[in-house]
């Protein structure tokens, strides 16, 4: 299909629909005659160059006037219509086809940047950065998302509330579907419900687990931490890597991204079943609950774990969506990108990412939060405690040399919007839950105490401060499992970047290090 963008103009008085087309971003939209009815189309619409083909594509992408109206309000005007449809610029319901059209455009942009602006400076590197975990050092290209210190995450420029408003949910007004987030992160475009449904179907069709992956997990003692079991399962899935096969078969560089896409989609599709098996094996009867063909990705994961309460299904959609991506520098995402850079396939890269996520200062913090909250309840015999009691407990934690889990961040300097949207979910569905109320109280008491320490750069809660009480409320009480949920979600952010890494020909990552002697010598010279 030739690349093109459409927009439409719905005349509110006559209710006539005009189709506008353009084949390049640099030319204005052209008004085309639009066939309202398929029977009015006399031109062959199988010919990609015929206007009728484009009209039919348009017809498929915006399935009904009522849908357009419900998206844009009763009286949409040209500007809002064009803006909306710019994000809807293709009728591809197949993600691979969509990506194939985008790859040359992105390759061109990167080539141009390198050629014309390769020497532009992005900042300076200080001793603090080298000794301080590279905070604030811009050194990675990451397409899917960016974290603003005050506003938090934006997925392809969209904040969480914007995603909640604009991305398709399982029902009108529902939380964004993880499939929609995946489509957005990979393509930069807001998918239609049809595109999301098609992707959900694609993921379900890829979700077959080879028996040896279960056996590899079974080889570990049941007592093994769920994250170790999870990494083992992912490594077992690697046996089927399409990238590895293609590389051994001599595939050329220009096509690396294609088997990377296959591996990434297979990986994303298969993770929930592997993850659910670990849960059922460790905490339940060990019986596998099969995938339900009528459910979307997030809901299916909950279902395979053994939870079918519609509210829990909806929470899982939100959970997976908001945990998917957090720009490129966080430990798990950066690890995946680094490990993939010598052309290790997505399974190898993602298993490494999970090992980083399993650290208590990163993803494991959600486990630590619920454990810490439970220890508060155990200490006082009730979650209903006074501010003074809570304050004493926080000081006890700090004085024993531990961090307050769920608070602080490497980039954020305000409350994490992922915390806020989980709080809003809880306020709607479980306002009277005693642990939720304790979490709310902790948010009042912890920040002033951390601020008083004088060294904590961000005293506010992060995503992990909230997720546990919601999961616990819906019956997923085994906190040691929580990071597995995070891991499944993170695949949706990491995998798109791995595909783009290969499509854009990103090189092997190899920064320069410095010895202590050399650092001292350089500092001596500059002072
Ligand atoms: C999904 C995620 O990964 S979100 C983060 C999840 N992790 C947690 O919630 C664990 C608790 N938080 C922390 O340990 C930290 O805030 C981190 C790891 C998230 C960020 O670390 P940094 O960027 O180094 O934070 P920062 O620059 O503010 O640290 C300065 C000092 O404050 C301390 N500090 C930071 N946060 C906390 C906290 N929540 N409780 C106690 N002390 C803290 C640090 O340990 C450090 O102390 P030190 O100088 O004695 O070593
Ligand atoms: O951004 C970070 O460093 C950690 C984090 O919140 C995430 O990975 O979700």
Contact criterion met (CB below 8 Å) for 493 and 333: yes
> Please, what is the angle between helix 417-429 and helix 434-453, to 10°?
150
- Distance CA(62)–CA(57), nearest Å, equals 9
Q: Whose CA is nearest to atom 2 of ligand 2?
A: 330
Structure tokens at 486: 């995070």
Q: How many CB atoms lie within 10 A of CB 438?
A: 19
406 lines ligand 2 (CB under 6 A): no
Question: Which of 128, 147, 394, 403 for a ligand 1 pocket mutation test, highest count of atoms within 8 Å of Cβ?
Answer: 403
Q: Whose CA is nearest to atom 9 of ligand 2?
A: 326
The residue among 421, 412, 423, 406 whose CA lies nearest residue 327 is: 412
pLDDT tens for the chain, residues 1 to 527: 344 555 555 544 444 455 555 555 445 454 444 433 333 222 333 344 444 444 444 544 444 444 444 444 444 444 444 444 444 445 688 999 999 999 999 999 999 999 999 999 999 999 999 999 999 999 999 999 999 999 999 999 999 999 999 999 999 999 999 999 999 999 999 999 999 999 999 999 999 999 999 999 999 999 999 999 999 999 999 999 999 999 999 999 999 999 999 999 999 999 999 999 999 999 999 999 999 999 999 999 999 999 999 999 999 999 999 999 999 999 999 999 999 999 999 999 999 999 999 999 999 999 999 999 999 999 999 999 999 999 999 999 999 999 999 999 999 999 999 999 999 999 999 999 999 999 999 999 999 999 999 999 999 999 999 999 999 999 999 999 999 999 999 999 999 999 999 999 999 999 999 999 999 999 998 77
Å from CA of 471 to ligand 1 middle: 24
Dmax (CA) of the chain: 81
pLDDT computed for residue 17 by the predictor? 53
Å from CA of 284 to ligand 2 middle: 30
Active site residue 334: no
Contact criterion met (CB below 8 Å) for 470 and 302: no
SS3 331: helix
pLDDT computed for residue 174 by the predictor? 98
Contact criterion met (CB below 8 Å) for 446 and 461: yes
Dihedral over alpha carbons 67, 71, 77, 83 (to 10 degrees) = -110
- Distance CA(414)–CA(151), nearest Å, equals 7
Contact criterion met (CB below 8 Å) for 89 and 5: yes
The residue among 326, 351, 337 whose CA lies nearest residue 154 is: 326
Å from CA of 281 to ligand 2 middle: 29
pTM here is 0.85
DSSP state at residue 440: H
- Distance CA(76)–CA(16), nearest Å, equals 12
Question: Which of 133, 397, 408, 493 for a ligand 1 pocket mutation test, highest count of atoms within 8 Å of Cβ?
Answer: 408
SS3 343: coil
* Phi and psi based region of residue 35 (left: phi greater than 0; alpha: psi -120 to 50; beta: remaining): beta
Active site residue 409: yes
What is the residue-wise DSSP string for 52-111?
HHHHHHHHHHS--HHHHHHHH-SS--HHHHHHHHHTT-----SHHHHHHHHHHHHHHHHH
Active site residue 464: yes
403 lines ligand 1 (CB under 6 A): yes
The residue among 190, 176, 417, 200 whose CA lies nearest residue 318 is: 176
- Distance CA(266)–CA(242), nearest Å, equals 10
DSSP state at residue 18: E
- Distance CA(168)–CA(188), nearest Å, equals 15
pLDDT computed for residue 92 by the predictor? 85
Structure tokens at 148: 């603003």
Q: What is the ipTM of this complex?
A: 0.99
């Amino acid at each position: 299909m030739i690349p093109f963008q459409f927009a439409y103009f719905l005349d509110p008085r006559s209710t006539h629909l005009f189709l506008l087309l353009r084949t390049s971003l640099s030319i204005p939209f052209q008004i085309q005659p639009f066939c309202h009815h398929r029977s009015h189309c006399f031109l062959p619409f199988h010919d990609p160059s015929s206007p009728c083909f484009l009209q039919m594509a348009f017809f498929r992408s915006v399935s009904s006037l009522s849908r357009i109206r419900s998206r844009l309000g009763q009286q949409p005007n040209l500007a809002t219509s064009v803006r909306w449809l710019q994000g809807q610029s293709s009728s591809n319901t197949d993600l691979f086809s969509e990506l194939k059209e985008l790859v040359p455009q992105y390759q061109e942009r990167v080539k141009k940047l390198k050629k014309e602006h390769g020497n532009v400076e992005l900042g300076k590197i200080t001793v603090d950065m080298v000794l301080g975990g590279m905070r604030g050092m811009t050194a990675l290209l990451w397409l899917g998302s960016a974290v603003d210190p005050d506003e938090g995450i934006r997925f392809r420029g969209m904040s969480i509330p914007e995603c909640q408003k604009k991305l398709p949910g399982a029902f009108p007004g529902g939380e964004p579907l993880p499939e929609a987030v995946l489509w957005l992160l990979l393509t930069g475009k807001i998918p239609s419900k049809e595109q999301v449904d098609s992707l959900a179907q694609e993921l379900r069709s890829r979700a077959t687990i080879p028996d040896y992956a279960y056996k590899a997990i079974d080889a570990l003692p049941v007592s093994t931490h769920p994250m170790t079991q999870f990494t083992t399962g992912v490594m077992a899935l690697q046996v089927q890597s399409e990238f590895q096969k293609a590389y051994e078969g001599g595939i050329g560089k220009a096509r690396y991204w294609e088997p990377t896409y296959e591996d990434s989609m297979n990986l994303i599709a298969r993770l929930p079943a592997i993850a659910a098996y670990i849960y059922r094996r460790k905490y339940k009867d060990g019986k596998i609950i099969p995938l339900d063909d009528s459910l979307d990705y997030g809901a299916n994961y909950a279902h395979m774990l053994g939870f079918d309460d519609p509210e829990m299904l909806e929470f899982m959609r939100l959970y997976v969506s908001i945990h998917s991506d957090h720009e490129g520098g966080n430990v798990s995402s950066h690890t995946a990108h680094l490990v993939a850079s010598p052309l290790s396939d997505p399974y190898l890269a993602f298993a490494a990412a999970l090992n980083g996520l399993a650290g208590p200062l990163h993803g494991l913090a959600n486990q630590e939060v619920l454990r810490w909250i439970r220890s508060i309840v155990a200490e006082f015999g009730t979650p209903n405690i006074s501010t003074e009691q809570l304050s004493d407990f926080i000081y006890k934690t700090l004085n024993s040399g531990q961090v307050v889990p769920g608070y602080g961040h490497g980039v954020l300097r305000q409350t994490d919007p992922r915390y806020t949207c989980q709080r809003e979910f809880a306020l709607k569905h479980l306002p009277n839950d005693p642990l939720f109320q304790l979490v709310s109280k902790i948010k009042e008491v912890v920040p002033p105490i951390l601020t008083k320490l004088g060294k904590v750069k961000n005293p506010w809660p992060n995503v992990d401060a909230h997720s546990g009480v919601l999961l616990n409320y819906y019956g997923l009480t085994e906190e040691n499992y929580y990071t597995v949920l995070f891991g499944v979600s993170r695949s949706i952010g990491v995998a798109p970047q791995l595909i783009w890494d290969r499509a854009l020909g990103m090189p092997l990552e190899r920064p320069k290090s410095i010895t202590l002697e050399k650092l001292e010598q350089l500092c001596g010279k500059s002072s």
